[in-house]
Amino acid sequence: MSTDLDRAAPSDDFAGDVFVDGADWEAVVDAVSDDIITVNMGPQHPSTHGVLRLVLQLDGETVVNVKPIIGYLHTGIEKNAEFRTWVQGCTFFTRMDYLAPLFNETAFCLGVEKLLGIEVPERARVARVILLEFNRLASHLVWLATGGMELGAVTMMTYGFREREHILDLFESQSGLRMNHAYIRPGGLAADVTADFEDRCTALVVKLREKMGEYEDLLLRNPIWNDRLRGTGILDADNCRELGITGPLARAAGISWDLRKAQPYLGYESYDFDIPTETAGDNFARFLVRLEEMRQSLRIIEQALADFPTGSVMVDDARIAWPSQQALGADGIGNDPAYIRRIMGQSMEALIKHFKLVTQGFTVPAGQVYQAVESPRGELGYHITSAGTNRPYRVHVREPSFVNLQASNVMSAGALIADVIANVASIDPVMGGVDR
Amino acid sequence: MSEGHPVFDAEATGEPPSSGSDATSSMDLAAIERHVQGRFGDVAADVKFGELSLYVKPSQVLEVLRFCRDDEALACAWLADLSAVHWPAGDHSIQRQPSTTGWPEYRIDRAQGVIEVDYILRSHTHNHWFRVVVAVDDTTPRLPSVTGLYPTANWLEREAYDMFGIDFQGHPDLVRILMPDDWVGHPHRKDYPLGGVDIPYQNDKFIPPPSQRDLREVVE
């Protein structure tokens, strides 16, 4: 009588409880005390920026507690770097925060240069500043694009990625790669900038300045954008200080702190720019701060371009610099045919020197340094320990995404589930940086 | 100055001139050093590469950090970073190849292995920062948690526990953060090899960790 086929057939004589699709909703509800239920958001949720898992405790639609679970993207970059030379370290660290690769390279290289006691040539310094600020623009554009998309402003997504692609084109023309450049090296740059670098940058600044207005037109007075961002995800100055929050999140809470001003590196003290701050500390304030930071970055780039020095881009030290200045070839790979012809054909010593520098690298004096730079997400610090060998003894990275993500509970507790998306988007975490 | 912490001996390092980029502080590093030593007499300190390090004992950590946070002249309201370095016991001659730079080689030979935990304290008020270093025994590393002073240390201490096995006592939720929950070992310790997990590749072959790898075999 009771075969599977019979159970599937409609019947009128029920005996006992009836279950729909095997889920006993009443039993689930009865089992939870105080009507709090726990829901997983992620790791594959489309709105959690990569592989971030949020364990939400919900009372109806109100969030009681948010617990971020991270580590899904852990690749052991810090451990790997202990087994590679100092220059190879750039190749690893650039892959951490993949939206701000040049900041990772710069912070690491500044730390190594501090240990070596060298100063990079002026041309390399200014080129670094220009590329860093373009990278800040590219990173904030991705934030605008993905943040907009998550709140339904899909046009912003296409705009943001469209302009970012122009910046990545510039990076590709200089380093050969759109992302993960390994272009900034201890002692300077991997190769000199191309002859049309200044023209390209100038044209790009004009283009970006023009487009900036479009973002404001699209979002600033958009009622949905305002409703979703104003008054949500509030993080005040005290929260920021206790949780170690830096970058646009802290500046949106009224903390006027920017390492470029406070503890200048790369000669940032010689440029005229402002630190935008807001006092509301909500998601909308962060939007305004990031928007203004993009304008300030354009100002810095213009000033740097106005006085772009000539000369070498690598420190004049035969123990560190490769014996010849490499230029980017027509094939997009960093080997100039003229260079290879000269080295291979004429100078055996230079060839040996080059081989030793590439395979063994240079040694760095023993010691410990902490070098922090202002990345698009806040204080990016490299705590580098050298034991006097040709590879790092230990590198610890103070990742702003990692530290800032701790704020997600403070921002979202008491809010609605829908606000969690906006709040996490406004932190702008990059999971490659969080998990390393 | 730094007898308690012979990791970076002044003679051994052949210290190059510092870049001197931290000149913006209202209280110079020597004054901070004197100020802390005025309160804690047995705190060793040194300034290298333009950075001040204070070496404290594990039992002092909470007290020193509380002083640095609450003292008006220091006012280090921010814990910028917390990290650790493992220096194992024995003649730990670091693998190295002939150098092109020629700076003196550093050799470590110590009776007892230590894990050094570095706290980077930062003051926005006075725009200065310095490092507090505490060395703990690496067999049973144990330190008081500073989450009560700096809540931001929560995840940073979890990371240090995950990577080095340091037991931060009083931490509200000391569980692994980056590695899987059931992971065995603490990967950033020097006795933990790179690639310490057997990963089967094609034809059920196992590729050894890079440090034990014979490149000729891999190519074949």
Across the interface, do A264 and B19 touch by the CB < 8 Å criterion? Answer: no
User: Does a structural domain hold residue B197?
Assistant: no
pLDDT at A139: 93
pLDDT value at B216 more than 90: no
Check pLDDT > 60 for residue A180.
yes
Asked if pLDDT for residue A239 goes beyond 80, the answer is yes
**Partner residue opposite A406 with nearest CB, options B78, B100, B154:** B154
- Quick check: A48 and A54 in contact, CB under 8 A? yes
Establish if B1 belongs to a structural domain. no
Residue A253's φ and ψ, nearest 5 degrees, are -100, 10
B98 at interface of A, judged by CB pairs closer than 8 A: yes
DSSP, residue by residue, A341-361: HHHHHH-HHHHHHHHHHHHT-
Which of A403, A404, A409 should we substitute to test contact with B (largest number of B Cβ atoms within 10 Å)? A403
Under an 8 A CB cutoff, do A265 and B21 touch? Answer: yes
Please list every residue in chain B whose beta carbon sits closer than 8 Å to the beta carbon of residue A117: 16-19
Instruction: Please state the length of chain B.
Output: 220
Residue B62 belongs to a domain with what CATH number?
Answer: 3.30.460.80
How far is residue A155's CA from residue A157's CA, in Å, rounded to a whole number? 5
Contact B151 A243 (CB under 8 A): yes
Domain ranges of chain A: 77-320+362-435
pLDDT tens figures, A72-126: 889 889 988 888 888 888 999 999 988 999 999 999 999 999 999 898 999 999 9
**Strand, coil or helix: A380:** strand
pLDDT recorded at residue B26: 54
In a domain, B207, yes or no: no
Is A393 within 8 Å of chain B by CB? yes
Say whether B194 and A80 touch across the interface (CB within 8 A).
Answer: yes
| Per-residue pLDDT, A335 | 59
Asked if A383 lies within 8 A of B176 by C-beta distance, the reply is: no
Q: Do B49 and A115 touch (CB under 8 A)?
A: yes
Lowest-confidence region among A130-134, A369-373, B178-182: B178-182
The answer to which of A200-204, A261-265, A328-332, A354-358 has the lowest mean pLDDT is A328-332
- CB of B16 less than 8 A from some CB of A: yes
- Give the C-alpha separation, A7 to A9, whole Å: 5
Answer for the pair B31, B114: CB distance below 8 angstroms, yes or no. Answer: no
**Higher-pLDDT residue of A388, A169:** A169
Residue A326 is predicted with a pLDDT of 59
Chain B touched by A71 (CB under 8 Å): yes
Please tell me the least confidently modeled range out of A44-48, B70-74, B106-110. Answer: B106-110
Confidence of residue B20 (pLDDT cuts 50, 70, 90): very low
- The predicted structure's pLDDT at residue B102: 42
Looking at residue A131, what is its pLDDT?
Answer: 93
Please give the pLDDT value at position B162: 92
pLDDT, mean of residues A117-142 = 92
| Interface touch A364/B16, C-beta < 8 Å | no
- What number is the average pLDDT over the span B15-27? 43
Q: Which of B19, B83, B180 sits opposite A114 (nearest CB)?
A: B19
CATH of domain A77-320+362-435: 1.10.645.10
Percentage of chain A lying above the pLDDT 70 cut: 86
Decide if B131 and A368 are in contact by the 8 Å CB cutoff.
Answer: yes
pLDDT, tens digit (0-9, with 9 covering 90-100), for A305-337: 998 988 888 887 777 877 655 555 555 555 566
How many domains, chain B?
1
DSSP symbol at B82: E
What is the per-residue pLDDT across B74-126, written as a single tens digit (0 to 9) for each?
888 899 999 999 888 765 545 444 444 444 444 555 678 888 999 999 998 88
| Whole-number pLDDT of residue A372 | 93
Which pLDDT belongs to residue A325?
A: 56
pLDDT digits (tens, 9 = 90+) for A51-77: 888 888 888 888 888 999 998 889 889
Cβ atoms < 10 Å from Cβ of A37: 15
Name the residue range of residue B123's domain.
6-191
The predicted model scores a pTM of: 0.83
B7 CB-near residues (< 8 Å, 6+ apart): B87, B108, B116
Compute the C-alpha angle B20/B26/B30, nearest 5°.
Answer: 60
Q: Where in A258-300 does DSSP place strands (E)?
A: none
Share of chain B above pLDDT 70, in %: 66
The answer to whether residues B20 and B49 touch, using CB atoms and an 8 Å cutoff, is: no
Taking the CA atoms of chain B, what radius of gyration do you get in angstroms?
A: 20
